[in-house]
Amino acid sequence: MGATQKTIETAVKKVLGPAATTVLRGTNVILWGVSAISTIKAFKTFMEKDPVRKQIKPLEEEIMKWGMAISYIGREPYRLNDMCSIERGGAINELGIKQYLHMSETRYPWQNNEFNKEYHVDPANQAYLESPVAGLKYPDLKIAKGMILAAIGEIQPAANWLEHENFHENKCSIINRLKEIEESIPIKYMPGQNYSTTQKALSNIVREMCGLEMDYKFAVSKLELDLNKKRLKYGLMAGVTGLIGKLSGSKTI
């Protein structure tokens, strides 16, 4: 018996029990390579059918819902005089007055003629309250309102898979506050309007939402750790399944 086959039998005996090693005796280890495709398919099937995988799927869907809602509102808290990329996005960002800037681009020098940064100016500055100033991007309230409504749409079907106490009340509170904020924002921006208070209120709501999102991420992380512990067992089971299929000439799962 070759050293490789003996190692395989020892591992199979340890994980699956003594009876499982009988299917390996007298066979050529090359059969494992020949049945590699069947073995991989079997391994994937074992992993996908594991009860833990079924627990993970709905939790990942909740992470997606809260993550999308947070992105619509703005994941990073609004900070006055903050400089960031134009792609930052979110309703919080859209409610502020920003100055577009050209920053030296070392990685993509051909983009140096394009605006690639924005600077959040103080909306209370008298220079910005009288009339629009050239070079500034003023709030687009229609887009901000649309983002808040989109966030609400993501949160409404959210389920309480983690069985948090007062989850329904907290979710309704977040939705109601977002609705109140959205309704308080007019469609068209007029010089003199300052939405700093609204931005801070949205930032506070986002912190609550991030807490719920993190709870789901932590739960999924724990389940994935449990699932990873079964990879060796499922790998050996898949190998045995593929080998048996090769010996018998039948299809494996």
pLDDT in tens, 204-231: 999 999 999 999 999 998 887 876 665 5
Worst-scoring range by mean pLDDT, 141-150, 157-166, 178-187, 191-200?
A: 191-200
Going by C-alpha positions, the residue among 87, 202, 89, 83 that lies closest to residue 140 is 89
Residues in the chain: 253
Would you state the pLDDT for residue 219? 92
Would you state the pLDDT for residue 225? 80
The enclosing H or E element of 118 equals strand 117-120
Q: Does position 79 have pLDDT exceeding 80, yes or no?
A: no
Going by C-alpha positions, the residue among 60, 66, 1, 8 that lies closest to residue 240 is 8
Bridge partners of residue 101, in order along the sequence? 117
Cβ-based neighbour number of residue 138 at 10 Å: 16
Would you state the pLDDT for residue 238? 53
Q: How confident is the model at residue 26 (pLDDT cuts 50, 70, 90)?
A: very low
Nearby residues of 59 by Cβ (< 8 Å), 6 or more positions away? 161, 162, 216, 219, 220, 223
Q: What is the average per-residue pLDDT within 125-137?
A: 68
The secondary structure of residue 194, as a DSSP letter, is -
The string of DSSP codes covering 120-169 is E--TT-HHHHSS--TTEE---HHHHHHHHHHHHHHHTT---TT--TTHHH
Q: How many distinct helices (H) and strands (E) make up the chain?
A: 10, 4
Percentage of the chain beyond pLDDT 70 is 56
For residues 240 and 53, the model is more confident at 53
The secondary structure of residue 195, as a DSSP letter, is -
Q: Does position 239 have pLDDT exceeding 50, yes or no?
A: yes
Q: Does position 137 have pLDDT exceeding 60, yes or no?
A: yes
For residues 186 and 235, the model is more confident at 186
Tokens of 202: 């949205």
Would you state the pLDDT for residue 115? 54
Q: How confident is the model at residue 250 (pLDDT cuts 50, 70, 90)?
A: very low
Going by C-alpha positions, the residue among 35, 36, 33, 25 that lies closest to residue 2 is 25
Would you state the pLDDT for residue 124? 73
Cβ-based neighbour number of residue 22 at 10 Å: 11
Would you state the pLDDT for residue 192? 79
